[in-house]
Structure 1
C-alpha cells in the first residue's frame, strides 16, 4: 500500500448516502467499462467513500471488513474471503477504456485502472484500497453526475441491471433515451458473442432485446407495425412488454428488476430500420414516493414563485381516464411489478399543474445549434437556459 497516503477508515456503510457517478462514464461511443455485480458494488462503495474529499492527494480507503462483507452480500458466504479477493482483482484489472480523437483527427486509445493496490488479510480489521489518482474525476463529485443510492442498487442482482441503472438515472430528467442496439452491444462487450451477432444468428437483435433488455413484443406493437407498413409510414412508438418467467408468470429481466427495486420506472420500445431492429427508446420517470422532502419543498417553492408571477396554467378538470392513469402510476411504486409492463408516466404523460420544463443535455444543444448554424453559447442564450447542479440545461 502507499506509504505516503493517509488512510480514510470506513467503519459503517450508509445505504442512504448518495453515490455520484460521473456522466462522463456514460458516453457509449467513447468509453467502455464493464464488471460483475460485486465489481460494480465495490466501485460504487469506493466512489461514495471519496466523494467528499477535497485534499489534492487521495487517501487510501480502509473498509471495515465485516461491514464490507455485509454490503457486498457475502456475510453468510463460506467462501467470502476468496470472493472478495476475486472482486478486488476484477476492479483492479477491468480498466476504464477511452477511444477519442485529437483535434487533428488522430485516433487515441487510453486505459486507466481504477485501483493500483489493495490489502486483504484474514487477521486484519480493514481492507485497504489504493485509488488511482488518474480516475479521481470519475469518482469525485462533479458538475455532471448521476445520483444513485445503495438501498436501491444493492437490490439489483445482475451485471446488466447494475450497468443500466446509472445510465437511466443519468437520463431520467430527459424522460427518454434513444440509443442504437449496436452501441449497446459494443459497450456491454457483446459484439463477439455469436448469440447477438446478426451475421451468425438471424434473430440476434431479438435475442438481445429479450435476454439483455428483458422486453418482448406485444400485439399492439405488431398491429401498429402492420398498419405503418400498409400506410407506408414510420411506426409509432409503443412500449413493449416485460419478459415473463414461464414458471412464476412474473416479469423478469433488466427493466422489470430496475422498475421493481429502484426509484425509477423504465420501459422501452424497439425501433425498426427496414426489416431489422436497430435502436431502442427507453422511457424513464422518477417514482414520486422516492423523491426527497428537500427536493419536494424546492419544487413546490419554485412552482409557487412562478404562480405568483402570473405564470399559472389554466386549471382543467381531470377526466376519469386520467384518474385511472394516476392509479396505474401508483401501482408502479409497489414492491412487485404486474404481469404486464405498466404504462410508464414518461410515455403517457399526465396533465401538469404547472408549465412543463424541458431539460437538455449538452449533446442535444450542440445538435440544435448545428442545425440552426449557431454557436453553443448562442443557442443557450436564445433558449434562455440555466445550467443546474446536475449538469442539465433547463428553461429559465
Structure 2
C-alpha cells in the first residue's frame, strides 16, 4: 500500500485511499457544525476549493479503514479530480487545481466550542497538511489535516449531498448555501438572521454589504439572488396599514441584466439540485434583518406536465394508507392529497398563520408527511372511481 519502511530512516506511515474515477452518486456527509456560525467559520471562497473539500470528504468517508498509527493519504487520478471540480474541459484545469489547493492550505477552519468549565475554546484546523501533483502525471496526492479528520469521519449529525446535485453550482455562495438549506429541509420553513447568513457565506468583510439598509439589500440581491416582488410590496403596505405581520409572499429571483433571464444563488440551487425553496426578507424598522425560507419538493415545481402531475396525484390517492395522526370523518369521495406550496401559502394567508407548524396545528384537515403538506379534501372523480372498483 503506501507504507514504506527503511531500517535507517524514519518515515510516516500512510494508509492510501486510492481513487481512479469520479463518483457523482456517492453521498458526501458534511458535519452540521460546518453550518453553525457559533461553532465553525470557514474562510474559503473559491468554488474549486469547496468542491475539492467535498471530494476529500467523500473519499475519506467511503473507505472503511480505521487510521490509528498512520495518516490517511489520498491518491486520486487527475481525470477524477478534474471531474470533481467540473473543470475537465478547461485548458487551465491545472492552474485551477493549484489555486484551489493553495486556498485550502492558506485558509484554515476556525472552530469554537464550550469547555468543561463553561469557557469558550478557540481552535484552528487545516483541511489538508500536504499535497503533490504534476502537470505531466496522472496522480494527485493529498494528506488531510489530522484535526480536520473528525469533521470528515465519525459524524453523528450531518447533512448528505451528492456531486450530481452540487457540481453544477458555480459560486461559493451556492456551494455553502445549498448544504445549509438541505440540512434545514425537514423544518419545511425557517428563519435566519441576515447577519448570521453573512457570516456563513463569508460576506461580513465586504464593504458593499455593511450598510444596514442599502448594504443588506445588495447582499440579498448578489449573495442570495432575490429581490422583493410586486406582490410582496403590496402585502407589506397592506400589513403596515392593518398593523399586522406581512403574510408570506415569495420574492422574485434576480434577473440577468443582459438576457432578462432568472439567475443568482437561489435560482441555481432550485435549478440544479434536489431541493426547491422560496424565500422572502423580513423587515424590522427600516431594514431587513431576517430571511424566511419555505421548502417544497421537486415533484411540486411547475415544470411537470399536467399528465405527470395527475399520475403522481393518483398514486398518492390510491396507494397511500391513511394514518391516524388526526381524527377526520371518513367521508366518501375524500382523501389525503398532497398540496402545492402555492396552496400552502394561500392557506397561510387566509388563516393569518405565521408558520407552517402553526397552520397545521390549527387545522385538522392538514398533515405534514416527510416534508410535504397533505390536505383531507374532496377529490373530483374519486367517488365514481371507488364505486367502479367495488363492482
Distance 1:245 1:310, change over 3 A: closer
The more displaced of 243-252 and 275-284 is: 243-252
User: Under a length normalisation based on structure 1, what TM-score does the superposition of the two structures give?
Assistant: 0.73
Count of residue correspondences: 327
Show the 5 A alignment for 1:256-267.
Answer: 256-267=267-278
Distance 1:178 1:3, change over 3 A: same
Distance 1:355 1:24, change over 3 A: same
Q: CA deviation at 1:352?
A: 11
Please say if residues 176 and 200 of structure 2, whose CA atoms lie closer than 8 Å, have aligned partners that are also in contact. Answer: no
The more displaced of 9-18 and 278-287 is: 278-287
The more displaced of 81-90 and 132-141 is: 132-141
Q: Which residue of 1 aligns with 2:286?
A: 275
Q: Choose the corresponding residue for 1:52, options 62, 66, 91.
A: 62
Q: Which residue of 2 aligns with 1:228?
A: 239
| Cα distance between partner residues in 2 of 1:264 and 1:120 | 36
Q: Which residue of 2 aligns with 1:24?
A: 33
Distance 1:251 1:323, change over 3 A: closer
Determine helix, strand or coil for the equivalent of 2:14: coil
| Cα distance between partner residues in 1 of 2:160 and 2:81 | 21
Q: Which residue of 1 aligns with 2:383?
A: none
Name structure 1 gaps, 5 residues minimum. Answer: 291-295, 327-344, 360-396
- RMSD across aligned positions (CA): 3.5
Please say if residues 271 and 277 of structure 1, whose CA atoms lie closer than 8 Å, have aligned partners that are also in contact. Answer: yes
Determine helix, strand or coil for the equivalent of 1:356: strand
Superposed CA deviations along residues 15-42 of structure 1, whole A, max 9, x for unmatched, are: 1111111112111222111331101111
Q: Which residue of 2 aligns with 1:140?
A: 153
Show the 5 A alignment for 1:20-169.
Answer: 20-33=29-42, 34-57=44-67, 58-140=71-153, 142-169=155-182
Q: CA deviation at 1:322?
A: 5.9
Show the 5 A alignment for 1:349-368.
Answer: 355-357=367-369
User: Under a length normalisation based on structure 2, what TM-score does the superposition of the two structures give?
Assistant: 0.74
| Cα distance between partner residues in 1 of 2:72 and 2:299 | 38
Q: CA deviation at 1:289?
A: 9.1
Q: CA deviation at 1:69?
A: 1.8
| Cα distance between partner residues in 2 of 1:46 and 1:206 | 35
Q: CA deviation at 1:70?
A: 2.9
Distance 1:267 1:4, change over 3 A: same
Quick check: which has more Rg, 1 or 2? 2
* Regions of 4+ moved over 4 Å: 303-307, 309-326, 351-355
| Cα distance between partner residues in 1 of 2:124 and 2:77 | 30
Distance 1:312 1:277, change over 3 A: same
Q: Which residue of 1 aligns with 2:255?
A: 244
Query: In the alignment, is residue 197 of structure 1 matched against residue 210 of structure 2?
Result: yes
Q: CA deviation at 1:164?
A: 0.5
